[in-house]
Structure 1
Amino acid sequence: MTDDQLNRLGRWKELPFFSNSWPLIRSRLRVEKRDILPPAPLIFRALEMVQPQSVRVVILGQDPYPTPGHAHGLAFSAAEHVKPLPRSLSNIFKEMEQDIGACPPHADLGFWAEQGVLLLNTVLTVPAGEAKGHDKLGWQRLTAEVLDHLGQTPRAYLLWGANAHKVAADVDPDFNLTIKTAHPSPLSARRGFFGSRPFSRVNAWLQARGERAINWTNAPEAP
């Protein structure tokens, strides 16, 4: 990681992970013979887009999409041109349509990040074609430190899947809004993700606290 890349992390660069754990992970990535997703400049994009003080909602996933051309550094998101949608994202949009009556017009969820939604995977890289292939590299240390750093202020947490549940085990459900469900993948979405209404529940919680709701669909907001 160059000084410029580190500076793009802003306050996140102060986490112990970047001095204690990242050098070893980086060395292991350098000798990886398989293609690594997302591309190196996008690995920390989720943190670059939302600084700690701006985080209002945390969405935790598993690891990046293993299909080349899909992963771009934001959990569950993909580049705008990606069609058909990744299957997990397709299920997220199905649930959103049932919950709030609409969904975004494309796969890029960057506009969520611009509103303070941290789209973070528990593992930030994956070998092309092998889901969970970097599960043992040590990325979970970063996720744990991020959650600990955010723990002083109430936030909404959408914990999608067993990996997210495990890493976020210490998130206080009495202090925060925590919505724990199955992962939205086709293998598990019907085990509790569908019907969980996460988007309306998060907005109701935010508005009850006097905060602005998240525009989940990218539709123009009413004046």
Structure 2
Amino acid sequence: MKSPIERLGAWAELPFFADDYPRIEAALRAEKREVFPPQDQVFAALEHLQPDEVQVVILGQDPYPTPNHAHGYAFSADEDTRPLPRSLANIFKEMRNDIGAAPQTADLRFWADQGVLLLNTVLTVPAGQPKGHEGLGWQKLTDQVLGRLSDRPRAYLLWGGSAQKAAASVDGTTNLKIQSHHPVGMYGNLDFFGSRPFSRTNAWLHDQGLPPINWANPEAA
């Protein structure tokens, strides 16, 4: 069986995995609290897509801190998650207003099948403690992933301050950058609603000669 790093393909070449991950891995081993997502799912989003396959990047903050929710993809959760996490419920509300439909479950991995990288800026979280691993150093990986993806234009959906700070160096003239408040929290009902990120992303992909993302129906993806 391949190790988590071996499953990363080209991403494993990023300096983070030699320079920073051993320290983070040791900190996770020493962690007394339950950590999400499960260890074998921490890098799931990167394992799913190689750099050249990425068309759209959606940056999240950190994994859901609720048991049985996080599975390694930003904003996504296991298929049987009920009720939906609040941020995802707002994402689906905006999607219905934007394109007239939304998925039936919390599992967004069919987006990744189409080239959408669902990456959190911090890849682990202690149970019940949002941002509890913000100081571990995961942000260095985010920086390097975005640097690797700077080789050609892509669409970036940046919801909230953590995502916008992480992607501050992404060129907004050659790439599509859609920035708004995070879809949950005290500002979740402000400029996130009405930002139309899904239709705008598909219009931009069309202009690039690329297929649109099927956001709503996993069976047709």
AA partner of residue 26 (structure 1): E
- 1:204 and 1:219 map into 2 onto residues whose CA distance is 20
Is 1:170 aligned to residue 147 of structure 2? no
Relative to structure 1, the CA distance from residue 26 to residue 219 in structure 2 (aligned partners, 3 Å threshold; closer, same or farther) is closer
- 2:98 and 2:177 map into 1 onto residues whose CA distance is 17
Kindly state the Cα deviation for residue 210 of structure 1 after the two structures are TM-superposed.
1.0
**Paired position in structure 2 for 1:135:** 134
**Paired position in structure 2 for 1:190:** 189
- 1:25 and 1:167 map into 2 onto residues whose CA distance is 19
Kindly state the Cα deviation for residue 98 of structure 1 after the two structures are TM-superposed.
0.3
- 1:76 and 1:70 map into 2 onto residues whose CA distance is 10
Q: Secondary structure at the match of 2:131?
A: coil
Kindly state the Cα deviation for residue 5 of structure 1 after the two structures are TM-superposed.
2.0
**Paired position in structure 1 for 2:84:** 85
The percent identity for this pair of structures is 61
Q: Secondary structure at the match of 1:212?
A: coil
**Paired position in structure 1 for 2:112:** 113
Relative to structure 1, the CA distance from residue 65 to residue 220 in structure 2 (aligned partners, 3 Å threshold; closer, same or farther) is closer
AA partner of residue 167 (structure 2): A
- 1:188 and 1:24 map into 2 onto residues whose CA distance is 35
- 1:187 and 1:70 map into 2 onto residues whose CA distance is 22
CA contact (8 A) 2:110 2:218 kept: no
Is 1:41 aligned to residue 68 of structure 2? no
Aligned residues: 221
- 1:217 and 1:99 map into 2 onto residues whose CA distance is 11
- 1:221 and 1:159 map into 2 onto residues whose CA distance is 26
CA contact (8 A) 1:91 1:186 kept: no
TM-score between both structures, scaled by the size of structure 1: 0.96
Note the aligned Cα RMSD (angstroms): 1.3
CA contact (8 A) 1:77 1:108 kept: yes
Kindly state the Cα deviation for residue 86 of structure 1 after the two structures are TM-superposed.
0.4
- 2:106 and 2:186 map into 1 onto residues whose CA distance is 20
**Paired position in structure 2 for 1:103:** 102
